[in-house]
Structure 1
Amino acid sequence: MSSAIDLHGQPHVDRYLETDGEDGFHWRNGTTILILFTKGRKSGEQRTHALIFREHEGAYLVVASKGGTDTPPAWFLNLQADPHVEVQIKGDRFPATARVATAAEKPAMWAKMTEVWPDYDEYQKKTSREIPVVVLEPVTQS
């Protein structure tokens, strides 16, 4: 059985969820992965995505890069339609609200993300689309 380091997309998500991140949390080049659960904006069905993340002031940052294509990833369009998402980090799954980093916040957040995945800078050079940093803020239970 190959390691999740060699997996992408749904096979990575499946392995991560099967093992509560034991296989799949640690990924390439020292990055860490969370699973983002969104609701399909057309289908209404749950969608899952394995994304590189970093913790930042009690929230979690992900980048909607899609490798620098001119169209954003489907998960980003889904969370724009419905920002109420769920996040799983290892075995911990919780509700969160997604928002795009503000112009004031983005430079520091972008730098934090490119520390672990320098390719984001190359992706940005490939497209005229401004690649957003998405902030996933855990919903506190009252």
Structure 2
Amino acid sequence: MSDVRKPWLPPRWFIRLAWSVHRGLYRFSGGRVGLWRPKPGKWGAMRLTTSGRRTGQPRSVILGYLEDGPNLVTMAMNGWGDGEPAWWLNLLAHPDASVQLAGGSHPVRARAAVDTERDRLWQRWREIDKDLDAYAALRSSPTAVVVLEPRAGQG
């Protein structure tokens, strides 16, 4: 993809600060601010809680997502920086997790989308963000498209 232009990204410290402020607003408001459902042409925000791969302790992060039938779809993009985000490494070790959506909490099981499913879901994200391919090109490894499937039981 040589015709992909290099997109502008704010400095890494700013990206981390913005997400920290978002998490802080969520905590300060008792969860009333910071999560929203996707709308046509826009992503939503969810809170994902994983088990730490080394400690087993709960670890939470707020992520953008799309709905795909009963599944939730996000990307392990690490702010478009190199390296895998810790939450994705946690899910690779312990795929059972829970998500807090604007409408409540749900237990999920994570997996990476592959082949035609990954292509289809990537295209859905591309419809929301026209610069998706350019952002992904900033990473030295492919960006995992993560599918969170509902599961029965407690989260």
Give how far 1:117 is off: 3.5
2:36–2:46 CA contact under 8 A, matched in 1? no
Report the Cα distance in structure 2 between the residues aligned to 1:117 and 1:123, rounded to whole angstroms: 10
2:73–2:147 CA contact under 8 A, matched in 1? yes
Match of 1:105 in 2: 117
| 1:19-41 CA-partner distances (Å, limit 9, x unpaired) | 575421249x9431011001111
Aligned-residue sequence identity (percent) comes to 33
Q: Structure 2: any 5+ residue segments left out of the alignment?
A: 1-16
2:52–2:90 CA contact under 8 A, matched in 1? yes
1:67–1:123 CA contact under 8 A, matched in 2? no
The one-letter amino acid paired with 1:24 is G
Match of 1:4 in 2: none
| Counterpart pick for 1:120 among 121, 132, 136 | 132
1:24 aligns with 2:34: yes
Q: Secondary structure at the match of 2:119?
A: helix
Match of 2:47 in 1: 35
Report the Cα distance in structure 2 between the residues aligned to 1:18 and 1:112, rounded to whole angstroms: 33
| 1:22-66 CA-partner distances (Å, limit 9, x unpaired) | 421249x94310110011111221111110100002100000011
Q: Secondary structure at the match of 1:77?
A: helix
Give the total of aligned pairs: 135
C-alpha RMSD of the superposition: 2.5
Change beyond 3 A, Cα 1:19–1:137 = farther
Report the Cα distance in structure 2 between the residues aligned to 1:56 and 1:65, rounded to whole angstroms: 19
After TM superposition, the score normalised by the length of structure 1 is 0.81
Match of 1:9 in 2: 19
Change beyond 3 A, Cα 1:137–1:18 = farther
Q: Structure 1: any 5+ residue segments left out of the alignment?
A: 1-6
Change beyond 3 A, Cα 1:65–1:82 = same
The one-letter amino acid paired with 2:127 is E
1:37–1:49 CA contact under 8 A, matched in 2? yes
After TM superposition, the score normalised by the length of structure 2 is 0.75
Give how far 1:67 is off: 2.5
